[in-house]
Structure 1
């Protein structure tokens, strides 16, 4: 059975707290395990969350501020220590190649796994995966930063009752799916007659940024939108000055984009009560909101 869920490994921003580790998020998507922004302490949080190094197929780093990348050395070395048998691909801003190199080789270890690098450059980039597309968009932050979007193409769901009505069964079902038509009930039956569109799902991951066109593009029509909310609305000027958005701005983005589930995270240590983020967001978005906590497991909403 396929699993699609977000495993939250850390939710703090620049400084961790007693209750919040630095950033870290693993998206389980069928056979993919995409680790986003492994901050300091991510390897230990993985143990608490029941995430193994072998679960990781890809690593996405939005930018090279420490709370988003200082866990990379431990994660990479654990991938090698556990001799992960499959290739792991790392996506990161090309302008930070020197940072990635230093983090990759921060200490001596035996390289027993394959880590493929995929630096990102330009305003947008697209990487085809198996049955998915990973998109990246450049954001607005003091250092170069990218947001990520995962898109599943639309498919078709076969309708068993229509297949039975037309006497289509066994190998003919597979042939219908492959070829688009078969002969049945004395005529040619097309796949459109016995199936319906199954909408693909979409996921977006947006960290440190001001509101900009790329934020709206990444968030558009998503089933799950994971978005930073470093500051509360009362500190909007501070957020803008430091290249961040508030909980209310994240919620307004979700509303305008038609997102189904908004996951708020990346909270400044200056705010002790996470309920305040929900209160700010609720004024702008009446859809589903999750205020992330360390070690949460948040399922992707069921298909529309």
Structure 2
């Protein structure tokens, strides 16, 4: 299987700092590269991270505040300049189409035809169904904003002992996986569920600028990795609510409620100092999240956790 990981290209909020660039997150997934919220400077951050325009197959914008989209012109023009041959799907809130158009054609350049625009609207939108499902949910922010959830279909883990007991071997195993049932050498019909257990597919969610809302909880439900803003510490919860953001503790509550495996906190306000960083993790944990917590830093590579174990097979009979 190809690499699956998250490259953090930027982790600041509205104002970049000496150590944190504006937003940018590249999720690498089996040859696909989903670039979320490319803020100003993303093109340079990609170079520093060792990835190129050819690695991008999706551009997904949560909303049209500058720290989440001002990198679009550079990324698009680099896609054109480097002659990227494959389609690049650009997903963005339909209500901000005028901003997308300005960003997409911000300056004079030799354009490319590979950008496929996918405007989204409503409370929920299914953006793609293969080779993964990509779903967008509307969040709670002063401008229309969406979170994204990527899900791999569940698979199966074959059980060698059960296959052997039924005489299913060699090419018959592949046929059983593809067709769901085969005829064994002794003439019996063997069904896939007799010789396998379900293997849960991997899931990742991106929840950027938002207040606490049901959509944030729904996006995070059962995911392996949750990339979520933690713009403020808990003592600044009033500011968070005013500006439409989350605190570290609120991000931890969302992750705990969803049974998230790895929590990636990001989008930090410039008001906090480096020595404040441990407090973000402490407040997320104090809110009830007991899993792995990552404080995002620019150019970090965050691997997906190992696959969940396949579901135990129930024995038939008494």
TM superposition score normalised by structure 1:
0.97
Partners of 1:204 and 1:179 in 2: CA distance: 32
2:278 is aligned with 1:281: no
| 3-state SS of paired residue (1:25) | strand
Which of 274, 278, 300 aligns to 1:296? It is 300
Deviations 1:8-61 (A, max 9, x none): 000000000010000000001112110000000000000011111111110100
2:47 is paired with a residue whose SS is: helix
How far residue 176 of structure 1 moved from its aligned partner, in angstroms, is 1.2
SS at match of 1:130: coil
Aligned length: 304
Name the counterpart of 1:234. Answer: 235
Comparing 118-127 with 161-170, which one deviates more in the overlay? 161-170
Q: Is the 8 A contact 1:83 1:113 kept in 2?
A: no
Q: How does 1:108-123 map to 2 (within 5 A)?
A: 108-123=108-123
Residues in 1 aligned to 2:208 and 2:241: alpha-carbon distance in whole angstroms: 14
Q: CA separation in 1, counterparts of 2:201 and 2:32? A: 16
State the TM-score, normalizing by the size of structure 2.
0.93
Partner of 1:219: 220
Structure 1's unaligned 5+ residue stretches are none
Unpaired segments ≥5 residues, structure 2: 309-318
Alignment check: 8 A CA contact 1:84 1:113 kept: no
Further displaced range: 36-45 or 213-222? 213-222
Tell me the secondary structure at the aligned position of residue 13 of structure 2: coil
Moved segments of 4+, more than 3 Å: 164-167
1:141 Cα offset (Å): 0.5
Q: Deviations over 1:52-98 (max 9, x none)?
A: 11111101000010100000000000011111111000000111101
Map 1:156-235 onto structure 2 (within 5 A): 156-184=156-184, 186=186, 187-235=188-236
Structure 2 counterpart SS, 1:264: strand
In structure 2, C-alpha distance between the alignment counterparts of 1:276 and 1:181, rounded to whole Å: 54
Once the 2 structures are TM-superposed, how far is the Cα of residue 185 of structure 1 from its aligned partner? 5.0
- Give the 5 Å matches for 1:63-102: 63-102=63-102
